[in-house]
Structure 1
Amino acid sequence: MILIVAGGAVDREALHRMIPQARWIIAADGGAAHLRALGVLPHRVVGDLDSMDAETQSWLEGAGVPIERHPVDKDATDLELALEGARALEGPVRVLGAWGSRLDQTVASLLLLAHPRWAGRDVRFIDGQREAFIVRGEGWIEGAPGDRVSLIPLAGDAEGVTLEGLFYPLHEGRLPFASTLGVSNRLVAPRARVRVRHGVLLVIHEQGAPD
């Protein structure tokens, strides 16, 4: 597994739990501070370093961690650059700290999941008990009955949508783009199946979410 730690809010327990599973750890700029708090060195740091404190930068440089530094005036966020660097590595990708206080960056970060370059790769943004990922073709949601699940069409309508294991099932249905039809469904089984014949679905799964 490839673990990317960005500079947004990070659930420290989730980070601590995922570190032993990671074959590669990449810090996106200020995300290195989350790793430093646990005493864990990343394999690489990517970004313009504009949100990294001096102590963390000194810690990284002292340990000889490779730093891929970019100019502040660039055409991609630090997270996008870190994701790009992860493409050449094998395995699923998990991103912590993708959600932040800036709505523009949060929305743009979520849309990164839908880029065709990630088709066929298991890439998920994790935020405590919440995860976001893309379904093209077929995918599965694993959790507990009662977990909230929202399915949001991107890049146009999602056609031929079949939902199994959810409170509001669907068979070869349609989820229109720019509608809220797929918001606030919920699991009724430990595993739900999502299939879409045409289109892209953003899945947001919240474990233990109230009805």
Structure 2
Amino acid sequence: MGGTHFSWASSDGPSSDGVTEDHLARAEAYAVRQQRDRPVAVSVMSRTPVADLAGKDAPTWLDRELSEGSGNPVRDAGFGREVRAALAARRQWLVEQQLADPDGAALRFRQGTIDVLRQRELRQAGAQLAEGVGKSFASAGIGERIEGTIARRIDLEGGSYALVERSRDFTLVPWRDVLERNMGKAASGIMRADGISWQFGRGRSGPVIS
């Protein structure tokens, strides 16, 4: 009657496959050093399945790929095949929306396309949030002074935004990490192309975060 057999190696001798404990320890230490010296950076490209991005009224990472004309085409297999199909569908959608023009094998984006998509997404998000906030949404324009309470963070396809609640309405402005520790506080600042230099606290004597 057969049974299960085990072979044991001493702590200082070779194992049954010729690998010593010392070698295993050194290999583990090397792996730890590699992880420390060359950490793997993982970034979220999208919270939306790639197949659903083709007709999305928002700036997407597909737009970046199409506008840059990446010289490294993805494999036509597995997830790569899904990406290729999504890029082709997105290209067609952008042309139909008159946001881009075909230029041979490339795609030429029209001026202001990404901003048009961003504004569309913000208006849609604002309309969806209005009922929960209990106020109407108002877009924030460049040069406008923004004053209100930092209510919460909103993550959209085109990026993260701060919901700023005001007396009669609310708006969405680009998120900055400094807002995390100032949630619920009154804030003010001027909307600029590169963001807002925030001043926290009521009145104009609070700290300014640029």
Bigger fraction of residues in helix:
2
Bigger fraction of residues in strand:
1
- TM (norm. structure 2) is 0.30
Q: Which is bigger in relative contact order (C-alpha 8 A, separation at least 6)?
A: 1
> Between Structure 1 and Structure 2, whose CA radius of gyration is higher?
2
- TM (norm. structure 1) is 0.30
